[in-house]
Structure 1
Amino acid sequence: MSENILVATAWPYTNNYLHLGHIAGCYLPADIFARYQRARGNKVIMVSGSDQHGTPVTIAAESEGVQPIDIVNKYRKNHLEVWERLGISYDLFTTTGTDNHIATVQDIFTKLYNKGLIYKKNMTLLYSEIDNRFLADRYVEGTCPDCNFERARGDQCDQCGKPMDALELINPISKLSGDTPIPKESEHFFLKLSALEQPLLDWIKKNDYWKPNVKNFSLKYLTEGLKDRAITRDIEWGIPIPLEGYETKRIYVWFEAVIGYLSASKEWAQIQNKPDEWQKFWFDKNARSYYFLGKDNIPFHTIIWPGILLGYENHNLPYDVPANEYMNLSGGKFSKSENRAVWTHEFLEKFSADALRYYIVSNMPENSDSDFTWEEFLRRNNDELVATLGNLIHRILTFTFRNFDSKIPEPKKIETSDEKLMSEIFITKEKVESNLDICKFRESMRNIMNLAQNTNRYLDSEAPWHSIKTDKERAGTTMWVSLYAISAIKTFLYPFMPNASLQLGSYLGISTDVNQPTWEVEKPKSGTTLETPFPLFKKLEIDIENPLADE
């Protein structure tokens, strides 16, 4: 029976381009999972959007001397192009600037305020006398009191991941003027997280299928005791507070951005001309929601967002939060703010989407940090994608095309070796499914590559290039079984490398509806005319010192 699956990804700030660390952290795993669930016949919506209200956007605007919306438009256009070229299959990638999102955020704010879960009180903030303004969290930098990282932000430490108040920083400075800000009082609204601590703790303890790092990270903050957090700031860029007298303040981004998953679902339903369709994903207790993000976003999706939902209405809480660790760059962390990155759009100008998708899934930081290096990218592409998988597919197709009048031969007597490989197809199918069901993408890809290696061994053992000379029927059966194996590989590859999967299906004479993928393994139909085959993947030569240079 078809299930309703919500796939949600972290909302990228529109303050810079997307680097490969972003893709590995959440966007590719989410796409693989969504494509797999669609192929299984489930009803899937994959939603996210541009986070246009974050202070990184205003910081970028001020540094470039333009308005925040100009920064949003510039980088949103780039992000949309990356999704298209990389094949990230959103059902909706919207923005936090829509009327629908603003209305949803203000409705939640109002209901939580009326329930006493949002309340007003004075708070001490950092104020710059040189800048003549209160400094929002990301306008402040200092030393983390927990890990002593010297460039911690005022909202979170990038080194240890701890959310914090800017006042906790040691030796804080203004990122605008470099001066030392002073404490000053201002009235703001707080989310009463302390009242939600026990229900959140009870809920998280039951989620035994969560990744250990996600569950333990979340339990650590809960057992230390949740503190109420301010959800408004003295800024002009953001969503207005839906109460009179607070026109110079805005709802802060960490509260409103996570609400985007709900507002985007509503917007998607409106676009489908089925305005209530979103409710199937948010109220049906058999529906499941998966939130894909990097480890720095874990507390916002396992504590803050579920806390908001618990206080709001009977919406489904996250079913799973399969957060990844970091993919680093040659031993150091990718960083948009420090311009230390391999930008995805530049990468895709030179290399194929399939090459990137294969490398990332093979090196995905699912349980520990991984590292991107050009040497490893080259090795993965040439030794695995081309030499193992691509070569297998190409030699099966070309041998069949040349020796059987461009048609799929008819199998005759099935031998034990044939049965063994055909059995391996469905063993692999079960392994890939069981791993994808629990978001083990790297292991799923290994299962597929193992099938390719076993098919290679089968071919070498059967040696149809010899039997074609003395027993064409036997050679034909060997090739039919081999075509069966790569037909299965075509199916299993679809979530990981959709372009290669669809092209392989075309070579095999299997018509695949891009909008209605299937998870069934199709047996080769004898007599089907094969297309002239060409290699699916390209061997690369890279100047490691300057890999993105024009040739």
Structure 2
Amino acid sequence: MNDYKRILVTAALPYANGPVHIGHLAGCYLPADIYVRYQRAQKRDIKFVGGSDEHGVPITIRAMKEGITPQQVVDKYHALIKESLEQMNISFDIYSRTSNEVHHKTSQDFFLNLYNKGLFEEKETEQYYDKKAKTFLADRYIIGTCPVCGNPNAYGDQCERCGSSLSPEQLINPRSALSDAVPVKKKTKHWYFPLQNYESWLKEWIIEGHKEWKNNVYGQCKSWLDNGLQRRAMTRDSSWGIKVPLPDAEGKVLYVWFDAPIGYISATKELTAQWADYWCKEDTKLVHFIGKDNIVFHCIIFPAMLKAHGDFVLPDNVPANEFLNIEGDKVSTSRNWAVWVDEYIKDFPGCEDVLRYVLCANAPETKDNDFTWKDFQDRNNSELASIFGNFVNRTFVLMHKLCGGKVPKLHDEIIDDKDKQIIADIKAAKEKVESLIEQYKFRDALFEVIDLSRKGNKYMQEKEPWIVAKSLAETPDAQKSIDNCLHICLQLTANLTVLINPFLPTTAKKMLYMMKVVDKMLDWGNAGSMKLLSVGYTLRAPEILFRKIEDAEIAAQIEKLKGGLVKAEDTSNKQQVASAKEEAKKPEIQNPKPEIVYDDFAKIDLRVGKIITAEKVEKADKLLKLSIDLGFETRTIVSGIALHFKPEDIVGKQVVVVANLTPRKMRGIESNGMILMAEDAGGKLHFVNPEDSVNAGAGVS
């Protein structure tokens, strides 16, 4: 990082042919925003640019479907996408669009630079042509029957029912999407970029020079290079796009994947007169955030274009994410199988940070991951509300109750080992989070922030200031002990505000308000400090940071998602929709949780326990209160298994217990752990226990 004077961050340009969904957020916009907010907090010179990709076949196809012009399409969806990203607090310095005049000129100038150097190869080929519409047809304009699955509405490049990659020649009974006419072959001239000429340079630059890139990025690049590169056409026959700036190029436009990445350059030009500092000076760090489907364009084609041009810096890193599936199935906009950002904002007002949290905690950083509404609810209720929010709320409530609403003094003379440990944890958290963000490991970085709040809860539970307060009259140092606990907890809260800001900016703002401090506290240099809040400073009353999300809200979202499949119905494609509906009717199978590293698992303390007593919890049909012998102590654990087991039938059974969970009150009973259960396809619970009897307290590994 010290080798660079400035950083330029880009996030992939979304096609302005529809709204953005949560897969877009998880793929590139959220990780880019986290990285940018962190770098801003570090006071580094950084620009964050993006915009809408408004050219190409997807735009014209959407215009055909909606019966409007391509310009009306991009105007409509650019505004919707821009608003959705703003509402999710994606903090672009500029969010531009490729229909802007500055972009057209920048792209044409780039093309002419390569053309004047004689780098393009002019080539005449035969392509499909619609005689009735009098236009050449891109592959997506050709529709026919899929030879693999029989879908009568497969495109010339892909069947969206079975996912097969196709070419127009493979379609059965091909027809034009414009006029329904049978397409014919016709000669046309285009300009090709000789990508094969840059193969040796790309191998040296990527394979030898960027081994630090993420495995998925490095591996995909190596695969492309190992298979050999071919020339690629950089122009298309179309009336929609950036006109090719040559006298003999009537009816030709620049290939969308030629002009789209140049959009990063033109957006920077719009943003600042010093744009060349960010694009042409070697001490700039250029980082592209993208999804895995864009790797080849950002790591091979665009760098080769930049190298050919000669005036621009090359990307330092391209931290691409994998795909985010929805409820076990891949996102499909044609089937309406998606969670749309604009609809989420309407359905969960004020919960933008919750979605940011869930998408980061479950980010597809190393492999495809799955978003489920149940996981969304569990992460909000069990992690954000019950761990992070609970710690902050308890700290403020007790500070007002036991310290007069002011930051108490830290009494050095009675600091004990527990105090020293949590102070060390606070200081260590900064270094951990910082290192992980710099490595683009945002999921792990977020875990460290939440884990610090978890440690805060444990520390407060061990110090029990509410119990100590009962002995104020008899114990001379009781108030000092309370002061120390709450002073440390308040400083920890201030540190959490700094650390959580890149991830959950709205939550950080709420915490600043509660502490009556300004944005200056969010400077990264403040993290790890135990002097963020001044002794004697009066703080505001606590606000609930995260509300609980109810079962009914989740049920409504699942019903909405599955019901959305009906909206995708096309009378000419009923088989596809019927298949989708059948899939939606299948019983839900819980998918594996997101991938964790060994260190995550090692934090869980699993112990064998023996149930000593079991009794029903009053006014709670599902809960049993269990006394469990762990060998070193007897624990009270409240478990939701009353509908599956009679209390008298489970006494004496051995169980596996998660022994290091933060205590939690359920129906007024403090539960100190969790027993592990397995659920079969019929919903019946089964004990997870050792095959042979072992001593209570034995570890499970």
TM-score clears 0.5: yes
Output the CA distance in 1 between the equivalents of 2:149 and 2:268: 40
- Partner of 2:541, secondary structure, is coil
Q: Trace 1:240-389 onto structure 2 (pairs within 5 A).
A: 240-269=243-272, 275=273, 277-351=274-348, 352-389=351-388
Change (3 A) 1:497 1:160: farther
Match of 2:230 among 222, 227, 230: 227
Q: Give the one of 540, 543, 547 matched to 1:531.
A: 540
| Pairwise CA distance, 1:166 | 4.5
Match of 2:26 in 1: 24
Query: Using a 3 Å threshold, how does the CA distance of structure 1 residues 305 and 165 change in structure 2: closer, same or farther?
Result: farther
Q: 2:485 corresponds to which residue?
A: 478
Matches within 5 A, 1:417-496: 417-469=418-470, 470=472, 471-496=478-503
Q: Deviations over 1:146-192 (max 9, x none)?
A: x9998886567989999x99567565654445665333221111111
> Which deviates further from its counterpart, 129-138 or 242-251?
129-138
1:511 partnered with 2:523: no
Q: Give the deviation of 1:508 after TM superposition.
A: 2.0
Question: Partner of 1:384: helix, strand, or coil?
Answer: helix
Which of 203, 211, 216 matches 1:213? 216
- Once residues 154 and 114 of structure 2 are traced to their aligned partners in structure 1, the CA distance between those partners, rounded to angstroms, is 31
CA shift, 1:285, in A, is 2.0
Partner of 1:520: 526
Q: Is the CA contact 2:501–2:508 (under 8 Å) kept in the aligned structure 1?
A: yes
1:350·1:548 contact (CA, 8 Å) conserved in 2? no
CA deviation string 1:63-90 (max 9, x = no partner): 1111111111111111121122110000
Asked if 2 retains the 8 angstrom alpha-carbon contact of 1:7 and 1:290, the reply is: yes
Give the match for residue 545 of structure 1.
Answer: 555
Report if aligned partners of 1:432, 1:448 keep a CA contact under 8 Å in 2: yes
Residue 202 (structure 1) aligned with residue 204 (structure 2): yes
CA contact (8 A) 2:23 2:325 kept: yes
Change (3 A) 1:406 1:195: same
Following superposition, the deviation at residue 517 of structure 1 comes to 4.5
Per-residue CA shift, 1:325-371, capped at 9, x if unaligned? 11111111112233221111110112210111011001111111111
- Aligned partner of residue 55 in structure 2, secondary structure: coil
Report the Cα distance in structure 1 between the residues aligned to 2:402 and 2:6, rounded to whole angstroms.
47
Q: Structure 1 residue 398: deviation in Å?
A: 1.1
More displaced stretch, 372-381 vs 283-292: 283-292
Conserved? CA contact 1:161–1:296, under 8 Å:
no
SS at match of 2:261: coil
Alpha-carbon shift at residue 545 of structure 1 (Å): 3.5
C-alpha contact (below 8 Å) 1:17/1:336 kept by paired residues:
no
Retained in 1: the 8 A contact 2:142–2:168?
no
8 Å contact kept, 1:149–1:159: no
More relative contact order, 1 or 2 (CA 8 Å, 6+ apart) = 1
Alignment partners' CA distance in 1, 2:144 and 2:221: 24
Q: 1:85 to 1:40 in 2, by over 3 A?
A: same
Structure 2, gaps ≥5 residues long = 473-477, 561-701
SS in 2 for 1:123: strand
Segments of structure 1 that go 5 or more residues without pairing to the other structure are 270-274
The amino acid of 1:452's aligned partner reads S
Distance 2:175 2:500 in 1: 50
What is the percent sequence identity of the aligned residues? 38
Amino acid at match of 2:67: G
**Alignment match, 2:105:** 103
Q: What's the RMSD between the two structures over aligned residues?
A: 2.6
Shift of the alpha carbon at 1:509?
A: 2.7
**Cα pair distance change 1:173/1:475, threshold 3 Å:** farther
1:125 corresponds in structure 2 to 127
- Partner residue, 1:188: 190
Aligned to 1:73: 75
Match of 2:508 among 501, 515, 531: 501
Q: Quick one: which amino acid aligns to residue 48 of structure 1?
A: G
**Aligned equivalents of 1:36, 1:149: Cα separation in 2:** 50
With normalisation by structure 2, the TM-score equals 0.73
Matched with 2:85 is 83
Question: Within 2, Cα distance between the matches of 1:228 and 1:143?
Answer: 30
What per-residue deviation string (whole Å, max 9, x for no partner) do you get for residues 2-38 of structure 1? 8311110110111111111111111111111110111
CA contact (8 A) 1:5 1:281 kept: yes
Question: Which residue of 2 is the match for residue 61 of structure 1?
Answer: 63
2:414 matches 1:411: no
Number of aligned residue pairs: give it. Answer: 541
